[in-house]
Amino acid sequence: MSALGHGLSRGLRGVVYAVVSLGLLAWLGVTLSSRVELPDGLAFDGPPRPLQDARLLVDTTYIDAQGERRSEQAIFDAMFAMIRSARELIVIDMFLFNPFHGPEPERQRDLTAELTQSLIDARRAHDGLNVILITDPINTVYGGLEAEHLRRLRDAGVNVVLTRLPALRDSNPSYSGLWRWLVKPLGNDADGGWLPNALGDGQVTLRSYLALLNFKANHRKTVVADDGRGRLQAMVTSANPHSDSSAHSNIALQFAGPAVGDLLRTEQAVLRFSSDDVRIPERWLRPPAVAKPARGAAQIRVVTEQAIEAAILQALHAAGPGDRIRLAMFYLADRDVIAALIDAQARGAMLQVLLDPNRDAFGREKNGVPARPVAAELVEAGIEVRWCDTHGEQCHFKALLSQRAAERRFTAVLGSANFTRRNLDNFNLETDVVISTPQRHPLAAEMNQWFDDLWTNADGRHVSVAYQQFADERASLRWAYRVMEASGWSSF
C-alpha cells in the first residue's frame, strides 16, 4: 500500500475514533444531566398509629391430596366489599390492571373485568361518589394501545390517572438518559401500532418497547374507601387486579384508623406529579388530632419506597439469639437485605426463607433469576430455604415476619415491594405497612400460623418443597443476577 493509502487509512481511523469518543461523551453527558430528583411526598416514613380493625387477607394456591391445583382467595372479595360500601370516596392505586394474557391464559378469575364493573356499579349507584383510579402506563403499553376497560371507567365518571413515570428516578441509567433525550419528546400514539404486543393481544408501537426498557413502574397496590358511615378503611396488598395473575398467592392487610389518612397522603403525592387536576379532597387528608398509640400497644406505620428498606433493615439488624425471622418473597435480590439476613443468621437468629422459584411467568418459563442464585447464597450461610411449588401461577407474597424473644414483640412488613434494588431504592413507587404488636396479639398469632402452614404443607395443602427441588448453584447464574441487579438491566 502506498504512503498515501496508509495516510488515508490512519486518517479514517482517527475520524472513527473521534466520532466514537464524541458519541460516548454525549451519552455520558445525557446520562448525567438527566438525573431526576425524587418528587415531594415519596419515600414516606409514617409515624406509628394505633392498629385498628386489622384483618389479614391471604390468597393461596396449592395442590390438594388428589393432585389438583386449588386456589383459596379472600383479597379481592374483601376489596369489592369495600367498594360496595363506599358512598363518598374511593382511591385505588394498582399496578397491573389489564386483560393481557400469555400463551396459556389463567382461567381462575377475570379480575380486570370484575374490578372494572365493581367501580362502574359504585359510580352508578351513588352520584356523589368520588372515585380516583391511579394505575401504571404498562396497562396501555406506555401509550401504544388503547385500554378499553379504562375508557369505560372514564365514561362512567371515574377519574383515571396514569402515573407519569418520567418524574421518577431512572433505575436503568445507561439507557434512560438517551430515551429521555431522543424518544420521550416523540410521545406515543395508540393508533400507530404495527408491532405485536408482547404482553397480550393487539399491536403497539416501537416507542412502547423503547419505553418498556426504562424498567420502572408505579408498583403500588392500595385501596382506600369510606365505609358508608363517614369512616375510612384501607387495604395494602401484594395482589394485582390482573386476570392472568388471578391464581397467584398473595397477602394483604385491611385496616382503619389514622394510618388510612397517612396512606391517602402518599397517594396525593402521586397525583401531584401525575395529574394537573385530579386531587383527593383536603378534608380527607387532615392529620388526626391525637393518633399516637399507647406504649406497648399494637401499632401500624405506612411506609413507601426507600422507607420500606429502612424498616426491613431495622428489623433484621435488631435480630439476635433466640429471635426468629421468616420471609415469604417473590423477588429477593437487594444486596443490603441479603447481607442483613446473613448477618442475622450469624448472630444466632433463626431464619426461614420461602421463595418463589422464579420459573412461571404467565405461561412462559423463566430461568430462576434472581431467586435461585440468591437462595444458593443463603443456604451457604446456613439459612433454611424452601420453595413454593408453583404450577403456572406465582408465589407473589411479599412479607417479612420478625419475632423478638426478649421484647416479646412481633413485627411484620408487608405490601407491594419485592426486596430488590428497583423496589427499595427509590426507583419504583411502592407501599408497605409495618405492623408492631405484642407477641401474643391475635394478628401476630395469625401471621405466624400462616407462615407455618406454608412451610409445613399443613392440612393436606401442598405449597412448598425442599431447597434441592429447584436448587441451581451455577456460577454463571449468580454472575448474571449480580450484573442485572447492579446495572438496572433487569425486570426485577
DSSP 429-442: B-EEEEEEEETT-H
pLDDT of residue 8: 46
In a domain, 393, yes or no: yes
319 and 216 part of one domain: no
Task: Determine the Cα–Cα distance for residues 22 and 86; give it in Å rounded to an integer.
Answer: 59
In a domain, 25, yes or no: no
In a domain, 479, yes or no: yes
Q: If you average pLDDT over every residue of the chain, what do you get? A: 92
361 and 218 part of one domain: no
413 and 351 part of one domain: yes
Specify the pTM: 0.93
The residue assigned the cell 394505633 is: 50
Of the listed ranges 176-185, 270-279, 446-455, the one predicted with least confidence: 176-185
Task: Determine the Cα–Cα distance for residues 50 and 180; give it in Å rounded to an integer.
Answer: 43
Containing domain of residue 412, as a range? Answer: 299-487
Question: What b/e sequence results for 339-365 when a residue is b if at least 16 CB atoms lie within 10 Å of its CB, and e otherwise?
Answer: ebbbebbeeebbbbbbbbbbbbebeee
383 and 444 part of one domain: yes
151 and 189 part of one domain: yes
Total domain count for the chain?
A: 2
Supply the CATH number for residue 367's domain: 3.30.870.10
Q: Do residues 240 and 94 lie in contact, with contact meaning Cβ atoms separated by under 8 Å?
A: yes
Task: Determine the Cα–Cα distance for residues 398 and 43; give it in Å rounded to an integer.
Answer: 18
In a domain, 22, yes or no: no
Residue 355 has pLDDT above 70, yes or no: yes
Q: Which of 284, 315, 330 is the last residue of a domain?
A: 284
Residue 33 has pLDDT above 70, yes or no: no
85 and 231 part of one domain: yes
- Which H or E element spans position 487? helix 475-487
- For residues 342-347, average pLDDT: 98
Q: Which of 284, 308, 328 is the last residue of a domain?
A: 284
206 and 239 part of one domain: yes
- For residues 334-363, average pLDDT: 95
Please report, for residues 91, 133, 163, 362, the alpha-carbon distance to residue 460 in angstroms, rounded to integers and kept in the order given. 39, 39, 43, 26
Task: Determine the Cα–Cα distance for residues 252 and 239; give it in Å rounded to an integer.
Answer: 8
Give 162's strand partners. Answer: 135
The residue assigned the cell 413507601 is: 304
Q: Output the DSSP codes for 245-290.
A: GTT-BEEEEEEESHHHHHHHHHHHHHHHHH-SS----GGGTPPPSS
196 and 268 part of one domain: yes
Residue 67 has pLDDT above 60, yes or no: yes
Please report, for residues 257, 401, 412, the alpha-carbon distance to residue 434 in angstroms, rounded to integers and kept in the order given. 15, 10, 6
pLDDT of residue 396: 98
* Greatest pairwise CA separation for the chain in angstroms: 93
Q: Which of 228, 254, 284 is the last residue of a domain?
A: 284
pLDDT of residue 22: 53
- For residues 307-324, average pLDDT: 98
